Amino acid sequence: MKGSHSVKNVAIIGGTGYGAVELIRLLQSHRYMKIKQIISHSQYGDQITSVYPHLTEFYDDPMEELNINRLKDEIDVVFLATPAGVAKDLVPQFQESNVQCIDLSGDLRLHAREAYLTWYGKEAAPQEILDEAVYGLSEIYKEEIIKAKIISNPGCFPTSALLGLLPAVEHGILNNQSIVIDGKTGVSGAGRKQSQMTHYSETNENVTPYKIGKHQHIPEIDLYLSQVANEDIATTFTTHLIPMTRGLLCTMYGKLDKQVSTPEVIDLYQSYYETHPFVRIREEGVFPSTKEVYGSNFCDIGLHVDERTNQLIIGSAIDNLVKGAAGQAIQNANLMNGWDEKHGLYHIPIFP
Amino acid sequence: MKGSHSVKNVAIIGGTGYGAVELIRLLQSHRYMKIKQIISHSQYGDQITSVYPHLTEFYDDPMEELNINRLKDEIDVVFLATPAGVAKDLVPQFQESNVQCIDLSGDLRLHAREAYLTWYGKEAAPQEILDEAVYGLSEIYKEEIIKAKIISNPGCFPTSALLGLLPAVEHGILNNQSIVIDGKTGVSGAGRKQSQMTHYSETNENVTPYKIGKHQHIPEIDLYLSQVANEDIATTFTTHLIPMTRGLLCTMYGKLDKQVSTPEVIDLYQSYYETHPFVRIREEGVFPSTKEVYGSNFCDIGLHVDERTNQLIIGSAIDNLVKGAAGQAIQNANLMNGWDEKHGLYHIPIFP
Amino acid sequence: MKGSHSVKNVAIIGGTGYGAVELIRLLQSHRYMKIKQIISHSQYGDQITSVYPHLTEFYDDPMEELNINRLKDEIDVVFLATPAGVAKDLVPQFQESNVQCIDLSGDLRLHAREAYLTWYGKEAAPQEILDEAVYGLSEIYKEEIIKAKIISNPGCFPTSALLGLLPAVEHGILNNQSIVIDGKTGVSGAGRKQSQMTHYSETNENVTPYKIGKHQHIPEIDLYLSQVANEDIATTFTTHLIPMTRGLLCTMYGKLDKQVSTPEVIDLYQSYYETHPFVRIREEGVFPSTKEVYGSNFCDIGLHVDERTNQLIIGSAIDNLVKGAAGQAIQNANLMNGWDEKHGLYHIPIFP
Amino acid sequence: MKGSHSVKNVAIIGGTGYGAVELIRLLQSHRYMKIKQIISHSQYGDQITSVYPHLTEFYDDPMEELNINRLKDEIDVVFLATPAGVAKDLVPQFQESNVQCIDLSGDLRLHAREAYLTWYGKEAAPQEILDEAVYGLSEIYKEEIIKAKIISNPGCFPTSALLGLLPAVEHGILNNQSIVIDGKTGVSGAGRKQSQMTHYSETNENVTPYKIGKHQHIPEIDLYLSQVANEDIATTFTTHLIPMTRGLLCTMYGKLDKQVSTPEVIDLYQSYYETHPFVRIREEGVFPSTKEVYGSNFCDIGLHVDERTNQLIIGSAIDNLVKGAAGQAIQNANLMNGWDEKHGLYHIPIFP
């Protein structure tokens, strides 16, 4: 049986990953969504507390096997916190139902099927699904999200980069072909899977540039930047692994096409995000650090016009697991269901 | 004007410290307490966001100067998050009023004035205040806390150590003179003040034993252990600084006086804490790590009987800033005011 | 062809592990040993710089497949930096040769074959090999090492624990049945293999007790402690994973059987290690931190008599990859070959 | 008495800072330089081991007060590891002597006295000293260094940035007005002095942009870049504090003026640095991480031509305390005195 009018039943697919566990944490204080199923392909039958003892006494039920029909019967909102290549096959199966699908993977983010093939190395979802899915960058596509049934939740880097760049790009103050994005992320962005890059001994006390020139978030950033600018934009984007668990900062650079001062740019950004509670613009001379948004759904932005070089410098900080994943997914669910966008999400970051 | 029946007005003294900022974070979701004043001796007049930008849009008011009369008029609950030596002079000034005082410092924890002088190197609070103050180890002194007006909130190490030891001590299964407590704490326990020990470059990638044989938490642990055991107990207690911000683990060892198995000890602990929502006992073979309580008010405990040596090994993990400070202070305020003990505190820890 | 009288040819087996790579680093400045072969079972044929780019321009040769006969022909000293269960099969194959074998794994450390089976879960090496192998705790078994052909290099925890305990145990000042060892180690001790415990996101900002009551270093510590004491000793030993790459600290506790002061104990330890350049005893009131031995072959020891409880508290810090593995292996090779014990090893630790 | 022909006597001024302690570590294995005096303004009379216990048994002499005449009599090489504003007053006092001065601070790096005043906020050194001082970027100014008596040792960021940019700039393949430098540094770069930015609890698990648009290394980078390019270059340069102790990475971006491929750029860099042992160029597809140069004097460089945007991306990694400070200072001393440039410095980095 589906949830009542006021409380929606939720399923999370991909139960042993960090996306899922962060959804569980955030949904605990959500009054209108209730987790009914946590689905794990690899560990169904096990209690989630055997993987995550921190959940003890909060969620002791065993994880379940995927059963699409049961989901259609019982569930109102499905969060897909699965690796690339899973959601593209699952989402189409909910087409005939009323189930809201929010995909946290990259499967539905690129409109062109060839682009997905190029950057993800797999066959893309059916074109009609790609066409229907709404890109869930909550601040920018709010109107579309409110009416959507399928959400493609943005990647962590694109969330930070786009929120940091779009006000400037939309107002046409940048030379759009000069944009450089230097991304820095905590290790949890790589997920729970083990790899040499997530090995403590090699990541600690280290900064590691990775996937230079081939990160799958490049086409995602360029696509939505171009969409807003109404112009083909190719950015230069690099990513660096930082010895921290959570936190993501994009430092961005763009040649100014117009002469503007730092206070003017700050004004422009403040107006742009005036009605958006999760974006906070720092005052002149202050840039956000990632810890200032730790555990929260905020995107904090700092701005500086470098008069020596006529470059706009933008710093945009998020928690990659919250605004960059689970938090934004819930923000989108809030919008889709007519609840307050802030509900269950408007918490003070953990500091220190 | 004081708070209404249903919402109490709160003041926090010591506004720029980590205790205060954690109180602010936790009180944000508390429905029955509202922060009216944040008092800072060193920075009154400044906005707290100038020190802590992560609070932007949550608490933008300037910090205030201490004014006892205004506090007596306007405030119901005062949290003293001040360095050692401040609360002992302030708390007596609230004697004639109805203000509830919760002191997070060590000023009121030792009953004997000479003990305070010995371990803290300062003149103690008046004896009548020491006599009136109730030791706020919520799980153990619940009945007294409910009736108290002055709470001496326990230290971080004593909270972890006592919750880990008391069930065994109270049941008389240990040789009480054999107890060893090996404490490990994150750096935030040392507060926000700068010192060589909190310098990143020297604390990172390092484990540092400190204050060996002279930590001011020694007499606190011994006092309450002795009180429960009805016997003078002196423990061997060491502290180690660990390269992490939050988290505290006491690994404890005691010779068993009786022959008991690991499952029997686990049973004993589970019964002991059955009605206490913030203590979670791990199953056999599992010890808690500090990250499993990160940002939460939980105390997680693991137990093992080492049959080779007939020693009981206990691991007790808390977040030093929550259950070890601000969280337990709020738990005590909940008890003192007849609210649900869990209110505003029963959150899933942040993981990873 | 073997090395000349003055320069010995070296092979390292287990080329992609941390033990091997630390041997390579340390041997670079060794004038009497020269690496001729780096042998890797899993990656022979590959350049070691493809795994470890930091070796670029130092060791660009491909790794080789194991060939015992070639080793016997060309090599004087073999370092076995292999996982448990490999050396026990390889070392016997060098019996008829003059090759010196130094095994960094646990395969040859326990004298009783059943003990190995119990703690390692595998069939042990032949008894004659176990009998011939000398336990390479350089400071304690120096005379035997000088004459040895097979060295069983001690484990990291046993090195720290035994060097910290033996002077007290040998002088009979402790109640030997009361000894508690609380071990804290950096993550590199778990090697390069990936596991959930070495995953950055779960180890960072965390202290994790592990293998409580079942660590394979327990029988090793007890064996050599008992040997020196001439009495069966069972210690209580726990291990904790610390968010750092290198460094290991054992904090140890023992009831004093005699009345001694801290300065007297310090004197006793200083005399004990007077002729041993790699053990440094701290003065009264000072305990070593692990960073003070980082990258070096030192074992630094701090001592305190807790007069309240009549316990001796000992802190013993090493770099787990140097004195706890590769450094001590080279120290043993120096002793076996008549070179200065300090040769190639007597470096200032890296600080900060 | 000064050192003999073959061994030079060395003094280090600024004895309690990280620059000094790293000089001490590296000079331990230097056969031609011997430390005779460690001079500390704030702690002369104290043993350096009271500040740095890791030096125990290596350097137990007390630190000394500054005495210029004694230095002139006894010392051949003075390393000034002092805060900004000290060397500018001390170096002139050695003018009449034969003492070689190597200044690790920024005092002598800018040729124009007004530039120093603007960026450092202090009166600069006398112009004649600025004119005489040779900028000690060893790979670029080798010929001048060999003949110099006063060396201005480069800043940590400029060392990484200039070594990464100069081959491209000198070969004219970049649009020099488009250069963006995104700097990331470990905390030791801020020195041993305590500040909120070096506080463990606030720096750990955090990335902090700082001094955006006002870092004193900006004019230094631009000056030497312009000098080589024979053209006024203004770069856009930002700095980020990373939660690690050592390590510095500059990720750099420049629009390509010519069409070149990644392999062609790699070739160009390899030729440029062919005779320079401390610069290592990574092969295509690989960027260096900072840990791959940890504790060593290497500068490792990775290169990628982003064909989508026609940008050259350069990653340049150093250990900020070695190649970015003490190591390069010794490299310069080697060059000035006719010793092998690699002497005492050519060590394998510590990994992991």
CA B159 from chain center: how many Å? 6
The pLDDT, as a whole number, for residue B205 is 98
CA distance B38 to B51: 13
Pick the catalytic residue from A101, A156, A250, A299: A156
Residue with tokens 């699908």: A101
CA distance C106 to C206: 27
H helix intervals, chain A = 18-27, 48-51, 68-74, 87-90, 113-120, 127-132, 142-147, 156-170, 200-203, 217-229, 262-272, 327-336
> Using the 8-state DSSP alphabet, how is residue C322 labeled?
I
Q: Is A193 exposed, middle or buried (0-12, 13-18, 19+ CB in 10 A)?
A: exposed
Q: Which residues of D are catalytic?
A: 156
Are the beta carbons of A195 and C195 separated by less than 8 Å?
Answer: no
Residue D352: cis peptide before it, omega within 30 degrees of 0:
yes
Q: Provide long-range contacts, Cβ within 8 A and 24+ apart, for D224-230.
A: D224/D135, D224/D137, D224/D140, D224/D158, D224/D162, D225/D162, D225/D165, D225/D166, D225/D169, D225/D176, D225/D179, D228/D140, D228/D166, D228/D169, D228/D170, D229/D169, D229/D170, D229/D176
Dihedral (Cα; A252, A255, A258, A263), 10-degree rounding? 40
Look at residues A306, A161, A170, A270 and name the one whose alpha carbon lies nearest to residue A220.
A161
CA distance B272 to B135: 19
CA distance D324 to D335: 17
Look at residues A158, A162, A169, A147 and name the one whose alpha carbon lies nearest to residue A276.
A162
In this predicted model, what pLDDT tens digit does every residue of A258-314 receive, in sequence order?
Answer: 899 999 999 999 999 999 999 999 999 999 999 999 999 999 999 999 999 999 999
Q: Is B317 exposed, middle or buried (0-12, 13-18, 19+ CB in 10 A)?
A: buried
**Percent of all residues in chain D with a pLDDT value above 70, rounded to a whole number:** 99
The pLDDT, as a whole number, for residue B60 is 85
Are the beta carbons of C290 and B218 separated by less than 8 Å?
Answer: no
Best probe of the D interface among C204, C296, C301, C350, by most D CBs < 10 A, is: C350
* Residue-range domains of chain D with CATH: 8-132 (3.40.50.720), 157-320 (3.30.360.10)
Are the beta carbons of A207 and D290 separated by less than 8 Å?
Answer: yes
Best probe of the D interface among B22, B192, B199, by most D CBs < 10 A, is: B199
The chain A residue lying nearest B17, using CA atoms, is: A352
The pLDDT, as a whole number, for residue D196 is 84
Nearest to C206 among B178, B205, B290 (CB): B290
Query: One digit per residue, pLDDT tens: chain C, 352 residues?
Result: 687 768 999 999 998 999 999 999 999 999 999 999 999 999 999 999 999 999 999 998 899 999 999 999 999 999 999 999 999 999 999 999 999 999 999 999 999 999 999 999 999 999 999 999 999 999 999 999 999 999 999 999 999 999 999 999 999 999 999 999 999 999 999 999 888 889 999 999 999 999 999 999 999 999 999 999 999 999 999 999 999 999 999 999 999 998 999 999 999 999 999 999 999 999 999 999 999 999 999 999 999 999 999 999 999 999 999 999 999 999 999 999 999 999 999 999 999 9
Q: Is the pLDDT of residue A1 over 70?
A: no
CA C278 from chain center: how many Å? 13
Look at residues A111, A114, A112, A115 and name the one whose alpha carbon lies nearest to residue A133.
A111
Nearest to B351 among A54, A347, A352 (CB): A54
Q: Is the pLDDT of residue D5 over 80?
A: no
In this predicted model, what pLDDT tens digit does every residue of A82-141 receive, in sequence order?
Answer: 999 999 999 999 999 999 999 999 999 999 999 999 999 999 999 999 999 999 999 999
> Using the 8-state DSSP alphabet, how is residue D21 labeled?
H
CA A230 from chain center: how many Å? 23
CA distance D250 to B134: 56
Q: Is A285 exposed, middle or buried (0-12, 13-18, 19+ CB in 10 A)?
A: exposed
Nearest to A245 among C186, C198, C204 (CB): C204
Q: Is B65 exposed, middle or buried (0-12, 13-18, 19+ CB in 10 A)?
A: exposed
Residue D334 in tokens: 């080697």
The pLDDT, as a whole number, for residue B1 is 66
In this predicted model, what pLDDT tens digit does every residue of A20-72 receive, in sequence order?
Answer: 999 999 999 999 999 999 999 999 999 999 999 999 999 988 999 999 999 99
The pLDDT, as a whole number, for residue A212 is 97
β-strand pairing of D33-39 with D8-13: parallel
Best probe of the D interface among C38, C49, C54, by most D CBs < 10 A, is: C54
Are the beta carbons of A243 and D246 separated by less than 8 Å?
Answer: no
Quickly list DSSP for A213-248: TT-THHHHHHHHHHHHHTS----EEEEEE-SSSS-E
In this predicted model, what pLDDT tens digit does every residue of D133-188 receive, in sequence order?
Answer: 999 999 999 999 999 999 999 999 999 999 999 999 999 999 999 999 999 999 99
Are the beta carbons of C315 and B246 separated by less than 8 Å?
Answer: no
CA distance B320 to C131: 50
Dihedral (Cα; D162, D85, D148, D189), 10-degree rounding? -40
Are the beta carbons of C28 and D54 separated by less than 8 Å?
Answer: no
CA distance D255 to D268: 17
Report how many Cβ contacts below 8 Å link chain C to chain D. Answer: 80
Q: In the predicted model, what is the mean pLDDT of residues D279-295?
A: 98
**Strand order across the A150-152 sheet:** A33-39, A8-13, A77-80, A100-103, A150-152, A134-135
Partners of residue B205 in chain D, C-beta under 8 Å: 245
Dihedral (Cα; A256, A261, A263, A265), 10-degree rounding? -20
CA distance B195 to B212: 18
Using a cut of 0.95, tell me whether the model's pTM lies above it.
yes
Partners of residue B352 in chain A, C-beta under 8 Å: 18, 188, 192, 245-246
Are the beta carbons of A187 and C201 separated by less than 8 Å?
Answer: yes
Using alpha carbons only, give the angle B106, B112, B114 rounded to the nearest 5 degrees. Answer: 90
E strand or H helix that includes residue C306: strand C299-306
Report, as ranges of residue numbers, the positions in chain B whose pLDDT lies below 70.
1, 5
Q: In the predicted model, what is the mean pLDDT of residues D192-205?
A: 92
